[in-house]
A and B are shown apart, each in its own frame.
Chain A
Amino acid sequence: MYKNFFRYLISAIFLLGLSVNSNADFKVGFVYVGPTGDHGWTFQHHEGRNAVEAAGIKTTFVESVPEGADAERVIRQLAQSGHDLIFTTSFGYMDPTNKVAKDFPNVKFEHATGYKREHSNVSTYSARFYEGRTLLGHIAGKMTKTNTIGYIASFPIPEVIRGINAMTLAAQKVNPNIKTKIVWVFTWYDPGKEAEAAQALIDQGADIIMQHTDSTAPVQTAEKAGVWSFGQASDMQRFAPKSILTSIIDDWAPYYVERAIAARDGTWNQQDTWHGLKEGMVAMGPYNSAMGADLVKEVEQLQKDLASGKVHSFTGPIYDQKGNILVAEGKVADDGMLAGMNVYVKGVEGDIPK
């Protein structure tokens, strides 16, 4: 009896000590696909990490982790070295994240932009970037003189196609003659290729350059050529102050802080997060004064309406390139359709690479 009591006491003390310890030692790890200084995708995730650090939680990051065989080792090392929550911030980490999660059931994993949650300790998250694209489309439709919008696209995945469509629909609403020209560069980050693509689009008559890639090369090319452009992922204004009309900013900070605190306090649970303008995961950079006060006001109103849900980026009637109806009048596209989007809407030129 005494023996048992003694045993319980010891294990209770031990557990208490362990839990106090784990609170103090609570650490969050981040895996980045690019360098922290890319001024785009990774830069914004790093800003999010800084916010977690500012909230008093210890963090670690590993940058430029290739999405090949090395990713699994880095994620595993973070899990092994006492990190309690690990953010893997690129699509290519999807399988390695799930694989490591299986072996570390007590560690929480958050994978950005993926769709696999094979274990209960894996959550996924992404942002409704397309809401930002709707605003860009509205601005582009009003600002273009040649009615031609040049779009530098990375990979023909639903997220990118959604952005192209959302932008085109919004631009058509204010300017029915809009045409969207696309160059696929098949990379997320390659300043040389992105700059060439921007130049090619400008040569084809585009006076607005939009990008779904991460470097600042397109906006700088646009600045040189004297055409309008939009920043991507982070506020790129200082790289092309005359040319940039606004930027779509990925603001991961609130989400990262919230999830880190939840994991520390034991309230973390598995979820699939898709936040937008409403939650602030998508934010807009400062508007260029060249837009004029009226247009800025219009766009700010639209931003509010998108956030409140009064306006939806994909409101019917929406037609595909051949004129078939995709979304009926008065209906909005549901998340399932958005998540699997693989056709262009009317007004986009060319075919989706297959």
Chain B
Amino acid sequence: MVPLIKIEKRNDVPMALYFFTPFIAIILTILGGGIIFYILGFNPIEALKFYFITPISNLYGLSELLLKATPLCLIAIGLSFCFKSNNWNIGAEGQLTFGAIVGGGVALLFYNQEGFYILPLVILAGAIGGMIFALIPAILKTYFNTNEILVSLMLVYVSKLLLDYLVVGPWSNPEGFNFPETRQFSDSSRMPLLFEGLRIHAGIFLALAAVMLSWFILYKTYLGFQIKVSGLSLKTAKYAGFKGKTMILVVFMISGACAGLAGVGEITGPIGQLHRMISPDYGFTAIIVAFLGRLNPFGIIFASLVVALTYLGAETAQIFLQIPKYTGQVFQGMILFFLLASDYLLFFKVKILNLNKNELRH
């Protein structure tokens, strides 16, 4: 007798379960994290408390959580358009950077000038910058059949190097001793703060607007219908006569604009200038956020808060318990792993069969 593992597709997966698995993934991540802390020699309950509760136990912590979740949410909303329609935009980090460059450029242009119109211009410039940068892989894909995964990923490095060049050279602060950073933007191009003493800024409204708008587009418009059909089956979409090329360009533009907004929100919000470290890889982390949120606008809000908390938790855990900060990345990795694993088990069932050797030969 030889045991044989057979994997079969499940036919009737209940939708409720589909939206429930992210919670299972989070619970498994917390359990897995507890085990890791235990192995590292920490009290797992205490460590988890510092990780997931302490960071948001006061008003400042909550504001920081929202501050951190804002760019993640914005980018993930944009990515959901691409991912839903089978377009694999991996370069949100590049679109964020390019959006920040264009928006930051406008902010520097209006250095030391007053005017209510400056901030909207800066924000608009950031969105357009991200949009243009996302159009590059989209156009190459639609007209030259290139692989958008590779092109969008490689463009991340292009935009980061461009930012490096600008902050070191032409845009560097003339009074800044050649340090690689621009001037601090004037107040007229800074996001207004929502509360005195907290860093949470008006950018959060951009994220919320993006959530609402994306829900409307995805579920209430013809474009949303096209996107969903293309995601389910490209052949059906073609058969139905959808103009695939325009849709690809549009989803990339939406995605790029969202990433650009995230970038401009960071530089006009908490950072206040351009330098080389404007994003700790939000564009890549947002991919986890998008999938954890099931590519659903409201799911993404929830997912961005969870992932933002892993960043804050890692800092708090290091401050209070000296747990290495890299556990934050371990947590993010675990969330994605458990999510993919539970998806697999959700859609496929594993059967163990016992067969005779003779039967195998047939």
Cross-chain contact A68 with B324 (CB below 8 angstroms)? no
Cross-chain contact A353 with B277 (CB below 8 angstroms)? no
**Residues 47 to 73 of chain A near chain B (Cβ within 8 Å):** 60-70, 72-73
Cross-chain contact B319 with A78 (CB below 8 angstroms)? yes
Cross-chain contact A60 with B322 (CB below 8 angstroms)? yes
Among candidates A72, A92, A156, A340, residue contacting B275 with C-beta atoms closer than 8 Å: A92
Binding site for A on B (CB under 8 A): 60, 64, 67, 164, 168-170, 177-181, 184, 197, 199, 266, 269-272, 275-280, 311-312, 315-316, 318-320, 322, 324-326
Between-chain CB contacts (< 8 Å), 11 pairs: A66-B280, A67-B276, A68-B266, A68-B279, A68-B280, A70-B315, A73-B199, A74-B319, A76-B60, A77-B315, A92-B275
| Docked CA distance A29–B319 (Å) | 8
Q: Chain A: which residue is nearest B329 at the CB level? A: A64
Contact A60 to B319, CB < 8 A, known contacts A68-B271, A157-B177: yes
- With A61-B318, A68-B277, A70-B315 known, 9 other A-B pairs at CB within 8 A are A29-B319, A68-B279, A68-B280, A69-B67, A70-B311, A81-B319, A95-B184, A157-B178, A158-B178
Cross-chain contact A342 with B178 (CB below 8 angstroms)? yes
Cross-chain contact B271 with A69 (CB below 8 angstroms)? yes
| Docked CA distance A161–B15 (Å) | 63
**Residues in B whose Cβ lies below 8 Å from that of A92:** 181, 275, 277
Among candidates B170, B269, B322, B324, residue contacting A69 with C-beta atoms closer than 8 Å: B269
Q: Chain B: which residue is nearest A70 at the CB level? A: B280
| Docked CA distance A63–B329 (Å) | 14
| Docked CA distance A156–B280 (Å) | 24
| Docked CA distance A50–B60 (Å) | 31
| A91 interface residue per 8 A CB criterion | yes
Q: Chain B: which residue is nearest A103 at the CB level? A: B197
**Residues 95 to 143 of chain A near chain B (Cβ within 8 Å):** 95, 103, 115
| Docked CA distance A339–B277 (Å) | 25
Contact A115 to B315, CB < 8 A, known contacts A64-B326, A68-B277, A68-B280: no
| A274 interface residue per 8 A CB criterion | no
Interface string of A160-186 (1 = CB under 8 A from B): 000000000000000000000000001
Cross-chain contact A63 with B177 (CB below 8 angstroms)? no
Cross-chain contact A157 with B179 (CB below 8 angstroms)? yes
Cross-chain contact B318 with A62 (CB below 8 angstroms)? yes
- Would you give the shortest CB distance from A326 to chain B, in whole angstroms? 17
Q: Chain B: which residue is nearest A161 at the CB level? A: B178
**Residues in A whose Cβ lies below 8 Å from that of B319:** 29, 60, 62, 74, 77-78, 81
Most buried by A among B170, B269, B280: B280
Most buried by A among B179, B269, B270, B271: B179
**Residues in A whose Cβ lies below 8 Å from that of B315:** 62, 65, 70, 73-74, 77
Q: Chain B: which residue is nearest A91 at the CB level? A: B179
| A287 interface residue per 8 A CB criterion | no
Contact A73 to B64, CB < 8 A, known contacts A68-B280, A158-B177: yes
**Residues in B whose Cβ lies below 8 Å from that of A268:** none
Q: Chain B: which residue is nearest A73 at the CB level? A: B64
Contact A353 to B169, CB < 8 A, known contacts A64-B325, A64-B326, A115-B177: yes
Cross-chain contact B168 with A353 (CB below 8 angstroms)? yes
Cross-chain contact B320 with A81 (CB below 8 angstroms)? yes
**Residues in B whose Cβ lies below 8 Å from that of A239:** none
| Docked CA distance A91–B180 (Å) | 10
Q: Chain A: which residue is nearest B270 at the CB level? A: A69
**Residues in B whose Cβ lies below 8 Å from that of A339:** 177
| A322 interface residue per 8 A CB criterion | no
Q: Chain B: which residue is nearest A159 at the CB level? A: B177
Contact A62 to B325, CB < 8 A, known contacts A70-B311, A157-B178: yes
**Residues in A whose Cβ lies below 8 Å from that of B318:** 61-63
Q: Chain A: which residue is nearest B271 at the CB level? A: A69
| Docked CA distance A170–B43 (Å) | 56
| A310 interface residue per 8 A CB criterion | no
| Docked CA distance A74–B325 (Å) | 12
| Docked CA distance A62–B322 (Å) | 8
